[in-house]
Amino acid sequence: MYPKIKFKIDPKKDISTFFDFLKDEKYDEGRNFEWAILKHYPYFKKFNGEIDKKIVQDFVFKYYFRNQEAIEKNIIIYENNWKKVEKEFFSLTSNLFSKTKWPKGKYIAYSTMWSMYPRFLEDKTFQIPAISRKKKVISFIIAHEMLHFIFYEYFLIKYKKYKSHKYDFFLWHISEIFNVIIMNKPEWQKILKNKDEGYPEHRKIIEKLSQKEYSLDDLIENIIAEVNKIM
C-alpha cells in the first residue's frame, strides 16, 4: 500500500518554514537561510536576523495574494505530472526497501515561495515550489522527499541507536548522500530525468561511492563510515 500525496497551498506553512530556516543557523551557519530566502528576497537582509513575525506574515500573504492564480495552475500541473511517474517511483522504492512499509503520515506537498524545499519527518509533509518554470523537475523534488521518508523508516529500524535527536544532523548527512547516489542511478533517471549533485560537502563522498555497486546495507554502511570522517 503506497501513500497518496495531497497537494496544498497554505501561506501559513511558509511563515513557519521561514523561521525554521532562521532557527537552523546553528547547524548550517546561516547557509540555508541565505540560499532559501535572502538570495531571492534581499528585503529581509536589513533586519539582520531579528525579524518580527508580523513582517514575515505580511510579506508572505502579499506574495500569495498577488500570485494566487499562477500558484493554483502550477500546483495542478505538478500533481498531474506526479501521477505519470508515481507508479514507477513506488516500484523502485519497493525493490529497494522490499520489506519496509511506508510510515504513517499526512503525505502533503505544500507550496513554498522560498527556494529550498524542506521535508518534515514527524508528519511526512514537505514543500515544493509555488511557481516554477521547470515544472517537470518538481516530480524529481517530490521523489527526493518521499525517498527520505522511506529511507528514515528503514534506517531507524535497522540502526536503533540513531533514534536520539543528538544524531539528527548526522542522519541528515547520511540521508542526503544516500538520496543522490540512488536517484542518479539509470533506472531512477529513466523516470525522473534530472540529476542532483548534492550539497558541496557531500560531493567527494558521492563521487567515491558511485563508482561501485553496493547492496543496500553495504551502501549505508559505507556512507556512515564516510560521514564519520567529516563530522
**Closest residue by Cα to residue 177 from 153, 157, 213, 147:** 147
Question: What is the average pLDDT across 102-111?
Answer: 97
**Closest residue by Cα to residue 125 from 95, 155, 105, 102:** 105
pLDDT in tens, 5-45: 999 999 999 999 999 988 876 555 668 888 899 999 999 99
Q: How far is CA 51 from the centre of its chain?
A: 25
Amino acid (one-letter) located at 88? E
* Per-residue pLDDT, 173: 96
* Per-residue pLDDT, 48: 78
* Per-residue pLDDT, 4: 97
Angle between helices 216-230 and 168-183 (to 10 degrees): 130
pLDDT in tens, 148-188: 999 999 999 999 999 999 999 999 999 999 999 999 999 99
* Per-residue pLDDT, 112: 98
CB 36 within 8 A of CB 116: yes
Angle between helices 68-96 and 137-158 (to 10 degrees): 40
And the C-alpha cell for 85?
511517474
Q: What residue ranges in the chain does DSSP mark as E strands?
A: 6-8, 108-112, 119-120, 125-129
* Per-residue pLDDT, 82: 97
Considering the chain, what is the average pLDDT of its residues? 94
Domain residues of the chain, as ranges?
A: 6-230
**Closest residue by Cα to residue 129 from 145, 121, 141:** 141
CB 142 within 8 A of CB 77: no
CA distance linking residue 113 with residue 131, whole number of Å: 7
And the C-alpha cell for 84?
505519470
Question: What is the average pLDDT across 99-108?
Answer: 96
Higher pLDDT, 4 or 34: 4
* Per-residue pLDDT, 231: 82
